[in-house]
Amino acid sequence: MEWRVISLENNNAYRNMAIDEAILEHIRDKKSSPTIRFYTWKPSAVSIGRFQSMNDEVNLSRCRELGIDCVRRITGGGAVFHDTKGEITYSVIAPEDAFPKGIRETYKYVCGWVIDGLNGIGIKAEFAPINDILVNGKKISGNAQTRRDGVVLQHGTILYDLDIPTMFGVLNISKEKISDKMIKSVEERVTKVLDYAKVSQEQLYKTLLEGFTKDKKYGLGELSREEEERVLDLEANVYSTERWNFSR
Amino acid sequence: MVTGFARQKVSGGKLVSVRIEFGNSIERIEILGDFFVHPEEKLPEIEKGLLGIGVKEDEHAISERIGKLAKENGVEMIGVTPEAISSTIKMAISNGMASNKS
Comparing alpha-carbon positions, the chain B residue that sits nearest to A179 is B9
pLDDT at A178 over 60: no
Give per-residue pLDDT as tens, A97-143: 999 999 999 999 999 999 999 999 999 999 999 999 999 999 999 99
Q: What is the model's pLDDT at position A17?
A: 98
pLDDT at B101 over 90: no
pLDDT at A180 over 90: no
Contacts of A79 in chain B (CB under 8 A): 34
Contacts of A177 in chain B (CB under 8 A): 9, 15
pLDDT at A184 over 90: no
Give per-residue pLDDT as tens, A138-160: 999 999 999 999 999 999 999 99
Nearest C-alpha of chain B: how many angstroms from A72? 12
Q: Which CATH architecture has domain A2-239?
A: 2-Layer Sandwich (3.30)
Contacts of B38 in chain A (CB under 8 A): 103, 146-147
Which one of A75, A155, A176, A189 makes the best mutation probe of the B interface by having the most chain B beta carbons within 10 Å? A176
DSSP string, A15-42: HHHHHHHHHHHHHHTTSS--EEEEEEES
Q: What is the model's pLDDT at position B21?
A: 98
Q: Where are the domains of chain A?
A: 2-239
Q: Where are the domains of chain B?
A: 2-101
Predicted confidence band of residue A176 (pLDDT cuts 50, 70, 90): low
Q: What is the CATH number of domain B2-101?
A: 3.30.390.50
Q: Nearest 10 degrees: CA dihedral of A180, A186, A188, A194? A: 150
Q: What is the mean pLDDT of residues A202-230?
A: 98
Question: Nearest by CB to B7, which of A76, A176, A180?
Answer: A176
Give per-residue pLDDT as tens, B53-79: 999 999 999 999 999 999 999 999 999
Which one of A48, A51, A244 makes the best mutation probe of the B interface by having the most chain B beta carbons within 10 Å? A51
Comparing alpha-carbon positions, the chain A residue that sits nearest to B79 is A130
Give per-residue pLDDT as tens, A21-73: 999 999 999 999 999 999 999 999 999 999 999 999 999 999 999 999 999 99
18-77 of B, contacting A, C-beta below 8 A: 19, 30-40, 43, 76
Nearest C-alpha of chain B: how many angstroms from A32? 23
Predicted confidence band of residue B13 (pLDDT cuts 50, 70, 90): confident
C-alpha to C-alpha distance for B51 and B55, rounded to whole angstroms: 10
Is B79 part of the contact surface with chain A (CB cutoff 8 Å)?
yes
Is A106 part of the contact surface with chain B (CB cutoff 8 Å)?
no
Q: What is the model's pLDDT at position A202?
A: 97
163-182 of A, contacting B, C-beta below 8 A: 174, 176-177, 179-180
pLDDT at A183 over 70: no
Give per-residue pLDDT as tens, B18-54: 999 999 999 999 999 999 999 999 999 999 999 999 9
Q: What is the model's pLDDT at position B28?
A: 98
Contacts of A104 in chain B (CB under 8 A): 78
pLDDT at A187 over 90: no
Kindly report whether the peptide bond that precedes residue A130 is cis, defined as omega within 30 degrees of 0.
yes
Q: What is the model's pLDDT at position A182?
A: 42
Predicted confidence band of residue A14 (pLDDT cuts 50, 70, 90): very high
Q: What is the model's pLDDT at position B102?
A: 73
Beta carbons of A146 and B40 less than 8 Å apart? yes
Number of A to B CB contacts under 8 A, please give it: 67
Q: What percent of chain A has pLDDT over 70?
A: 95
pLDDT at A177 over 80: no
Which one of B16, B30, B31, B40 makes the best mutation probe of the A interface by having the most chain A beta carbons within 10 Å? B40
Run of H or E residues at B101? helix B82-101
pLDDT at A181 over 60: no
Q: What is the mean pLDDT of residues A81-85?
A: 97
Q: How far is CA A33 from CA A17, A107, A113, A218, A230, in A?
A: 18, 20, 19, 10, 16
Beta carbons of A56 and B32 less than 8 Å apart? yes
pLDDT at A162 over 60: yes
Q: How much helix, strand and coil, in percent to the nearest 5, is found in chain A?
A: 40, 30, 30
C-alpha to C-alpha distance for A240 and A164, rounded to whole angstroms: 26
Q: What is the model's pLDDT at position B11?
A: 77
pLDDT at A229 over 80: yes
